[in-house]
Structure 1
Amino acid sequence: MYKLRPILKTYYESLEENKILGMKCPECADVTWPPLPICQVCGSTEVDWTEMGNEAIINEIRFEDSSVGGDYTFRKANDFFADKETPYCISIGKFPNGTHEFHAALYGINEDNLEKWKGKLPFVAPVHFIEMAGGFKAVGFKIPTE
Structure 2
Amino acid sequence: MSHKLVDYRFDRIPAFLGQELGVSEWMTLEQWRIDEFAHCTGDDQWIHTDPERCARESPYGVPIAHGFLTLSLLAQLMNDLKLMPEGTNLALNAGINNVRFKSVVRVGSRIRVRVKLAAVTPNGPDRLLTISACALEVEGERDPALLADIVVLLCR
Q: Which has the higher helix share?
A: 2
Larger radius of gyration: 2
Same fold by TM (over 0.5)? no
Q: Which has the higher contact order (CA 8 A, sep 6+)?
A: 2
After TM superposition, the score normalised by the length of structure 1 is 0.29
